[in-house]
């Protein structure tokens, strides 16, 4: 179904200068992600996952190469323009949720709309409520974040990423701080959102979480090692069933 | 504007959610502003007190003295002393000065039946009581006859009575001033304490007696005191006295006066200058505490920026611009200083009241001290809030997100 390119990178490279040594974090990445895709990025530590995520998330700029996000050439933009792009086009989900403590779920979800400069979101509270309903937290709207469980907190963070209706949802190890059961629930939530048409890019260490996606990109030493369609996608029921098996049979 | 309001709300929430930290941050400003208001008001109170006393001397007062100059820190008399000849000239010829009194001031020990006190003894004439408009609570003034015959009579102030005749009626009793016995014939009505000097720590006696008994070897008077016909005629009186004295002192047209005439108005100006300087000085000292308070705000804001690094990273990641973060932290600092300023004003006003209740020293809370205190608080907020806010805004979102 997808024809519109949400992400397109051409010869994307990123080098870090730490004193005399030049570290090549990313080399010649050509990646295209189309609307409606659910891509998992895997790779060992130091493979360049985080650097790629930062560039795709407009938090960092490539040293060379081109990057188009939703048709906009991002590598030429200044800091303020990048901030606006992040605000309008991207929904961030972090490993450690990064919610404001002592603040209600609703207020946390409203946060991206505070920084909106387009004026398209007139009723931020209604939008935030809707996003919380989408992630199944309709009954926790007025709870403070420190009163919620880890899984619930990550759901609040996902609602926050959804509230501005972004072109791309970027998840950086979203299940890294969660137990297996909750991890599968969150992964399942991503699948549901993807089924509703959301484009999702997820970085993860865990193969069984990555298997929820439609496509897997494997990075090694700053290059794309493999880029494959996932034939047999994991589901919540299957994943939960596998938990019941004794460790030895795995 | 809507965006500004939103960020204002964010800043306000952040202050509210960290109430204890916010209160501690404000403490420096609260104390600083309170101190500024209290010290400036105390200065104003002192000024008012002194001015009241001076105008209590009578608003049409003139004081004629030998010219003196400050030399190496002491007053040195220049020229011819003012003496009885000058007084006679003025008495004979003056139109604008109906009342004239010599004044011979001498520091002496007054000894009574139940105590003694070092005090100022003034030799004056009968007119002195009119010129200074002092009244008696009991007894009588000495008369012109008493002055002419150099009677050893005296009129004393309340402070002297308390020291020398505690709980007694002094009228008709004897006191000794430098071994000379004087009969107390009058007790002055209390004039009040504070300001420059105690107006009730005073012994008045006929100038003739003082001249003969205590002052013998010295020539001239300390000063001549006069009252103009009315307040409007003070400058007329001053010009007249100048002309008469220049003539009698045979001063040539091109030479300067060898005497000084000070009027009530001038005296008031001088003292208000002095108390004005005092007020500024006190205010400056208090301002230092405000600056210290400002540094306190900066400190806590800096700590708070570090503590909230991840929050700032998150905000940047979800689309806050640097200017949004800067605005938020600046608003937090300014709101803290302004609220601190307001609480400081309350503290200052209450403090003034407490001092008034405890010491009876009335401190009018000067309106301008409130304005100064408040503006200073706002200034401190912006100045010391800017640096931490800038630091917060300049954080790299990637590093800020990773910060543990």
β-pairing, A64-69 with A72-73?
A: antiparallel
Phi, psi for B92 (deg, rounded to 5): -75, -40
Host H or E run for residue B10: helix B2-17
Provide the pLDDT confidence category of residue B287 given band limits of 50, 70 and 90: confident
Same domain (yes/no): B238, B317: no
pLDDT, one tens digit per residue, over B200-239 is 888 999 999 988 888 776 678 889 999 888 878 888 888 8
Is residue B7 included in any domain, yes or no?
A: no
Is there a contact between B17 and A103 if contact means CB atoms under 8 Å apart?
yes
Residues of A in contact with B398 (CB under 8 A): 54, 59-60
A212, A241, A242 from A246: Cα distances, Å: 22, 11, 9
Same domain (yes/no): B142, B185: yes
- pLDDT value of residue A15: 93
Provide the pLDDT confidence category of residue A198 given band limits of 50, 70 and 90: very high
Is there a contact between B314 and A94 if contact means CB atoms under 8 Å apart?
yes
Q: Any bridge partners for residue A41, and if so which?
A: A203, A217
- pLDDT value of residue B72: 65
Same domain (yes/no): B228, B331: no
Is residue B32 included in any domain, yes or no?
A: yes
Interatomic CA distance for residues A225 and A41, integer angstroms:
11
Domain boundary among B263, B297, B314: B263
Residues of B in contact with A100 (CB under 8 A): 311, 314
- pLDDT value of residue A2: 46
What is the interface size between A and B, counted as CB pairs within 8 Å? 66
Nearest to A102 among B17, B319, B322 (CB): B17
Please determine, for residue A1, whether its predicted confidence score (pLDDT) is greater than 60. Answer: no
Same domain (yes/no): B198, B176: yes
- Which of B21-25, B136-140, B357-361 is predicted with the least confidence, judged by mean pLDDT? B357-361
Testing the interface with A: which of B2, B13, B314, B319 to mutate, by most A Cβ within 10 A? B319
- By residue range, what is the domain housing residue B24? 13-53+271-402
CA angle B226, B141, B151 (to 5 degrees): 95
- Taking CA atoms, what residue in B is nearest to A115? B320
Interface contact A112, partner B, CB < 8 A: yes
Burial (CB < 10 A; 0-12, 13-18, 19+), residue B83, is middle
Residues of B in contact with A158 (CB under 8 A): none
- Taking CA atoms, what residue in B is nearest to A160? B318
- pLDDT value of residue A84: 93
Phi, psi for B59 (deg, rounded to 5): -80, -10
Q: A100 to chain B, minimum CA–CA distance in Å?
A: 7
The mean of the pLDDT values for chain B is 84
N-to-C CA span, chain A:
36
Same domain (yes/no): B275, B154: no
- pLDDT value of residue B264: 78
pLDDT, one tens digit per residue, over B296-324 is 778 887 888 888 888 999 999 999 999 99
Domain boundary among B213, B231, B263: B263
Interatomic CA distance for residues B382 and B322, integer angstroms:
17
Using left for φ > 0, alpha for ψ between -120 and 50, and beta otherwise, residue B357 falls in: alpha
Interatomic CA distance for residues B239 and B243, integer angstroms:
6
Same domain (yes/no): B241, B289: no
Q: B10 to chain A, minimum CA–CA distance in Å?
A: 9
Which token pair is A150? 């880890």
The mean of the pLDDT values for chain A is 91
Is there a contact between A59 and B10 if contact means CB atoms under 8 Å apart?
no
Is there a contact between B316 and A88 if contact means CB atoms under 8 Å apart?
no
Same domain (yes/no): B247, B336: no
Interface contact B324, partner A, CB < 8 A: yes
Provide the pLDDT confidence category of residue B196 given band limits of 50, 70 and 90: low
- pLDDT value of residue B15: 87
Domain assignments of chain A as residue spans, ordered by start? 38-51+78-249
Burial (CB < 10 A; 0-12, 13-18, 19+), residue A9, is buried
Please determine, for residue B26, whether its predicted confidence score (pLDDT) is greater than 70. Answer: yes
CATH topology of domain A38-51+78-249: Rossmann fold (3.40.50)
Host H or E run for residue A218: strand A215-220
Provide the pLDDT confidence category of residue A13 given band limits of 50, 70 and 90: very high
Share of chain B above pLDDT 90, in %: 15
Q: Any bridge partners for residue A16, and if so which?
A: A23
Q: B361 to chain A, minimum CA–CA distance in Å?
A: 49
Which token pair is A136? 């199944």
Is there a contact between B317 and A92 if contact means CB atoms under 8 Å apart?
yes
Same domain (yes/no): B64, B49: no
Q: Tally the domains of chain B.
A: 2
- pLDDT value of residue B368: 83
Q: Give the CA-trace dihedral at A85, A88, A91, A94, to 10 degrees.
A: 50
Mean pLDDT for the stretch of residues B28-54:
81
Same domain (yes/no): B19, B113: no
Domain boundary among B244, B263, B282: B263
Host H or E run for residue B162: helix B158-164
Same domain (yes/no): B178, B240: yes
Please determine, for residue B262, whether its predicted confidence score (pLDDT) is greater than 70. Answer: yes
Residues of B in contact with A84 (CB under 8 A): 319, 321
Interface contact B317, partner A, CB < 8 A: yes
Same domain (yes/no): B250, B279: no
Strands (E), B125-194: 136-139, 153-156, 174-177, 180-188
Residues of B in contact with A103 (CB under 8 A): 13, 17
Residues of A in contact with B310 (CB under 8 A): 98
pLDDT, one tens digit per residue, over A41-73 is 999 988 999 899 999 999 999 999 999 999 999
Mean pLDDT for the stretch of residues A95-109:
91
Mean pLDDT for the stretch of residues B343-371:
83
Same domain (yes/no): B221, B278: no
């Amino acid at each position: 179904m997808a024809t519109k390119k949400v992400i397109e990178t051409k010869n994307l490279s990123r080098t870090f200068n730490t004193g005399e040594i030049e570290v090549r974090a990313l080399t010649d990445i050509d990646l295209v992600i189309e609307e409606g895709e659910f891509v998992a990025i895997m790779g060992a530590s130091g493979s360049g996952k985080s650097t790629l995520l930062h560039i795709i998330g407009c938090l960092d700029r490539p040293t060379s190469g081109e990057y188009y996000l939703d048709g906009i050439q991002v590598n030429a933009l200044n800091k303020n323009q990048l901030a606006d792009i992040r605000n309008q086009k991207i929904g961030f989900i972090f490993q450690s949720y990064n919610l404001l403590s002592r603040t209600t779920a609703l207020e946390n979800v409203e946060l991206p709309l505070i920084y909106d400069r387009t004026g398209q979101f007139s009723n931020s509270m209604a939008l935030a409520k809707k996003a919380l309903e989408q992630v199944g937290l309709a009954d926790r709207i007025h709870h403070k974040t420190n009163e919620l469980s880890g899984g619930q907190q990550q759901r609040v963070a996902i609602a926050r990423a959804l509230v501005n209706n972004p072109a791309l949802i970027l998840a950086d190890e979203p299940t890294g701080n969660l137990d297996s059961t909750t991890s599968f629930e969150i992964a399942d939530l991503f699948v549901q959102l993807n089924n509703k048409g959301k484009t999702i890019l997820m970085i993860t260490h865990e193969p069984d979480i990555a298997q929820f996606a439609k496509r897997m990109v494997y990075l090694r030493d700053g290059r794309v090692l493999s880029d494959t369609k996932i034939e047999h996608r994991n589901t919540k029921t299957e994943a939960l069933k596998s938990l019941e098996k004794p460790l030895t049979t795995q | 504007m809507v965006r500004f309001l939103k960020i204002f709300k964010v800043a306000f929430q952040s202050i509210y959610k960290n109430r204890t930290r916010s209160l501690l941050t404000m403490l420096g400003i609260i104390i600083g502003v309170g101190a500024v208001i209290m010290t400036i008001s105390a200065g104003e109170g002192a000024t008012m007190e002194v001015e009241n006393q001076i105008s209590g001397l009578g608003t049409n007062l003139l004081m004629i003295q030998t010219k003196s100059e400050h030399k190496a820190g002491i007053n040195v008399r220049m020229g011819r002393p003012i003496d009885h000849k000058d007084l006679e000239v003025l008495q004979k010829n003056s139109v604008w000065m109906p009342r004239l009194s010599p004044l011979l001031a001498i520091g002496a020990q007054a000894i009574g039946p139940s105590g003694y006190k070092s005090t100022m003894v003034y030799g004056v004439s009968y007119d002195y009581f009119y010129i200074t408009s002092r009244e008696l609570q009991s007894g009588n003034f000495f008369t012109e006859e008493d002055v002419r015959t150099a009677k050893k009579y005296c009129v004393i102030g309340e402070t002297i009575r308390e020291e020398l005749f505690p709980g007694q009626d002094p009228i008709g009793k004897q006191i000794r001033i430098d071994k000379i016995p004087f009969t107390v014939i009058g007790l002055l009505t209390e004039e009040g304490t504070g300001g420059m000097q105690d107006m009730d720590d005073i012994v008045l006696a006929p100038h003739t007696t003082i001249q003969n008994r205590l002052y013998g070897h010295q020539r001239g008077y300390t000063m001549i005191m006069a009252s103009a016909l009315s307040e409007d005629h003070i400058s007329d009186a001053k010009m007249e006295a100048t002309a008469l004295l220049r003539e009698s002192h045979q001063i040539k047209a091109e030479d300067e006066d060898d005497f000084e005439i000070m009027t009530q108005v001038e005296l008031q100006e001088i003292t208000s200058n002095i108390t004005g300087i005092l007020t500024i000085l006190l205010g400056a000292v208090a301002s230092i505490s405000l600056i210290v308070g400002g540094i306190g705000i900066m400190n806590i804001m800096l700590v708070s920026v570090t503590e909230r690094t991840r929050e700032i990273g998150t905000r940047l990641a979800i689309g806050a611009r640097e200017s949004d973060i800067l605005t938020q932290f600046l608003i937090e600092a300014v709101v803290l200083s302004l609220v601190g300023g307001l609480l400081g004003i309350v503290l200052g006003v209450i403090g003034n009241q407490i001092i008034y209740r405890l010491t009876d020293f009335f401190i009018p809370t000067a309106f301008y001290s409130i304005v100064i205190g408040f503006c200073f608080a706002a200034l401190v907020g912006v100045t010391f809030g800017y640096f931490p806010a800038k630091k917060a805004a300049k954080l790299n979102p990637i590093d800020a997100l990773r910060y543990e």
